[in-house]
Amino acid sequence: MQSGAQILLECLKLEGVDRVFGYPGARSLLVHDALMDDPDIRHILVRHEQAAAHAADGYARTTGKVGVCLTTSGPGATNLVTGIATAFMDSIPIVALTCQVTTDTIGIDAFQEADMIGISRPITKHNYLVTDAKNLARTIREAFLIARTRRPGPVLVDLPSNVLGSKIRPNIPETVTRRGYREKIAANMKQLKKAADIINKSQMPIIYAGGGVVLADGVAELRNLAETGNIPVTNTLMAVGAMDPASPLALGMLGMYGAWHCNKAVNECDCLVAIGARFDDRVTGRVDGFARNARIIHIDIDPASIRKVVNVELPIVGDAKEAMSALSSLLQPRDRSGWMARIRAWERENPLPRPVRDRLAPHEIMDAIREAAGPNPIVASDVGLSQMWTANYLPFAGPRNYITSGGLGTMGYALPAAMGAAIGNPGRAAFAVCGDGAFQMNVQELATCSYYDIPVKTVVMNNGKLGMVRQFQRVFMKEKYASTDLGKHVDFCTVARGFGVAAIRVERKEELGDALKKAVSLPGPVVIDVETDPDTYCFPMVPPGRNSVDAIFSPEDWKG
């Protein structure tokens, strides 16, 4: 006979889980007690439940495994919501285990009761309330199946405390299936042949690679597809690293804060092959002006994503990795050197800015991180200017090396996500790149890094402002900076040391390189507090409601 809590842990081990990020409470006591006696699963005690979800997310993005977080009922469970929504928007496989009041008190507003099924329904791939311990094992195994297959995503399992305490003879299924649910969809070969015919006849094709390429572990297939057809590739924020930036076919990131030549190439191409991308509004700009000259092919595992935003000519539902492999075998080599030359001319016309100033410029900070980090680092960036600067200026030669909150745009993501990534990838350098506003949202996780000696190196771009919102106010609001001034600069070195974390302050340009090298050489977590200019912004920028090629390159360009 085993308790529900013990059966839960047995199921987690069958799924290969060796780390759980969580925070205890009255309703999760039985699970935490069982975890303490289990030598195979390590519980990482975060300092806020939101961080547990982000840590599980960072672990999942960088390892390709399912991340797991665990909380008690009520506010413990609701504190996961932002992290679950972050994972949902970016299709990240996590399983959130929320403990709940007893089944006989559900629905009577018991102490610390929250309807997590209702709350989480819009932000999960699926969710469960387990009301009988006999169904627990199958539910847990099914939750992992759903989280990691097809289009991945978060699954929530709500666990009443009496179910966790029930003693039963375990019946854990070796494998599970779900009626009507296919783990993988094979792309239609007839459609792939049509796609190959369109590509082979095109003169100016572009591959638009999204995060689905990474999630499908299809990076090698993407690179082979591009090389076979001599097709340039532009990527979304979620597909940074899918192409080696040294490849002559790698164009960089498109979109609102992407490189202008990428947007221009999409605007001028005669064939757009979208793979694992969902035509996010920050990529398309005005939909009626997006790729208006192109025959559009869309490959995606999720049929609901196809023609949701853009009315594509050729839809192909299927696994991106398998579809790209099959499509490569159907392509004919074409000389597209003239097309590439045009794109590179656009790049020379409007390159990403690399200004030289007395104070540190964003590209100089990224250059210093690249030099200090060594080979193959993991970098998590927060949302805002730091996110765009990291994606544009810090080269990543492989997938799962750069992680960020793309769809939801969650401030406070970087530190706990980097923490989860570092735990999932021991021995690799792990960085969190934050603005000072975002850093303060989950700064308490320095205590977690200190307690477990998690070697995250956190670079804080400290300008005392909410930089991206301030940029909007500078451009569109006639410099009326409402509620974006954070006041006197916070001394993050003192804050970090209060948590037992080493800290280095950088005030001058010439100090940065040595400071980062020192941080990397120190064991354990380190905070590098970098003073930056509050009036340094991210350009080019496509103003909301404009076509993707109608970028502005300075605040003065806006004539709206």
Confirm whether 412 is domain-assigned: yes
Q: Write down the pLDDT at residue 506.
A: 96
Q: Could you give the CA distance from residue 469 to residue 476 in angstroms, rounded to a whole number? A: 10
Last residue within a domain, chosen from 349, 372, 404: 349
pLDDT, average across residues 395-401: 95
User: Cis omega (within 30 of 0) on the bond before 540?
Assistant: yes
369 and 307, same structural domain?
A: no
Residue pLDDT, tens place only, 171-223? 999 999 988 888 888 999 999 999 999 999 999 999 999 999 999 999 999 99
Residue pLDDT, tens place only, 463-489? 999 999 999 999 999 999 999 999 888
Residue 560 above 80 pLDDT? Answer: no
The β-bridge relationship of strands 295-300 and 271-275 is: parallel
Confirm whether 357 is domain-assigned: no
**Which of 207, 210, 183 lies closest to 195 in space, CA to CA?**
207
197 and 104, same structural domain?
A: no
The string over 156-169, giving b where at least 16 C-beta atoms fall within 10 Å of a residue's C-beta and e elsewhere, is bbbbbbbbbebebe
260 and 281, same structural domain?
A: yes
Q: Write down the pLDDT at residue 164.
A: 97
Virtual CA dihedral for 406, 407, 409, 413, nearest 10 degrees? -60
Confirm whether 182 is domain-assigned: no
The β-bridge relationship of strands 378-381 and 430-435 is: parallel
327 and 380, same structural domain?
A: no
pLDDT, average across residues 378-395: 96
By mean pLDDT, which of 39-53, 180-194, 429-443, 510-524 is the weakest? 180-194
Q: Write down the pLDDT at residue 379.
A: 98
Confirm whether 486 is domain-assigned: yes
Q: How many separate domains does the chain show? A: 3
pLDDT band, very low/low/confident/very high, at 235 (cuts 50, 70, 90): very high
Q: Write down the pLDDT at residue 341.
A: 98
**Which of 231, 237, 267 lies closest to 252 in space, CA to CA?**
237
* CATH number, residue 34: 3.40.50.970
Residue 115 above 80 pLDDT? Answer: yes
Last residue within a domain, chosen from 313, 328, 349: 349
Q: Could you give the CA distance from residue 336 to residue 332 in angstroms, rounded to a whole number? A: 12
pLDDT band, very low/low/confident/very high, at 559 (cuts 50, 70, 90): confident
Q: Write down the pLDDT at residue 182.
A: 85
Confirm whether 304 is domain-assigned: yes
343 and 370, same structural domain?
A: no
pLDDT, average across residues 74-81: 98
Confirm whether 26 is domain-assigned: yes
Residue 391 above 80 pLDDT? Answer: yes
Tokens found for residue 207: 């591959």
The β-bridge relationship of strands 2-3 and 167-168 is: antiparallel
Confirm whether 560 is domain-assigned: no
Q: Write down the pLDDT at residue 208.
A: 98
Domain that holds residue 376: 362-538
218 and 162, same structural domain?
A: no
Q: Write down the pLDDT at residue 359.
A: 83
Contact between 386 and 435 under an 8 Å Cβ cutoff? The reply is yes
Within 13 Å of residue 285, how many CA atoms lie on the same side as its CB?
Answer: 24
367 and 502, same structural domain?
A: yes
Q: Write down the pLDDT at residue 363.
A: 93
Helix locations, 230-311, DSSP H: 260-268, 281-284
pLDDT, average across residues 305-332: 96
Q: Could you give the CA distance from residue 86 to residue 405 in angstroms, rounded to a whole number? A: 6
**Which of 537, 502, 294 lies closest to 392 in space, CA to CA?**
537
Last residue within a domain, chosen from 349, 371, 395: 349
pLDDT, average across residues 121-126: 98
Structural element, H or E, at residue 49: helix 49-63
524 and 448, same structural domain?
A: yes
205 and 241, same structural domain?
A: yes
Confirm whether 403 is domain-assigned: yes
pLDDT band, very low/low/confident/very high, at 550 (cuts 50, 70, 90): very high
pLDDT band, very low/low/confident/very high, at 374 (cuts 50, 70, 90): confident
Q: 299 vs 140, 178, 188, 315, 430, CA distance in Å?
A: 31, 25, 11, 6, 32
Contact between 403 and 416 under an 8 Å Cβ cutoff? The reply is no
pLDDT, average across residues 311-321: 96
pLDDT band, very low/low/confident/very high, at 122 (cuts 50, 70, 90): very high
Give the chain's mean pLDDT.
96
Q: Is pLDDT larger for residue 83 or for residue 186?
A: 83
424 and 305, same structural domain?
A: no
pLDDT, average across residues 449-464: 97
372 and 338, same structural domain?
A: no
Residue 454 above 80 pLDDT? Answer: yes
332 and 264, same structural domain?
A: yes
Residue 141 above 80 pLDDT? Answer: yes
pLDDT band, very low/low/confident/very high, at 300 (cuts 50, 70, 90): very high
pLDDT, average across residues 412-428: 97
pLDDT, average across residues 92-114: 97
Q: Write down the pLDDT at residue 170.
A: 92
Percent of the chain exceeding pLDDT 90 equals 95
Q: Could you give the CA distance from residue 403 to residue 394 in angstroms, rounded to a whole number? A: 12
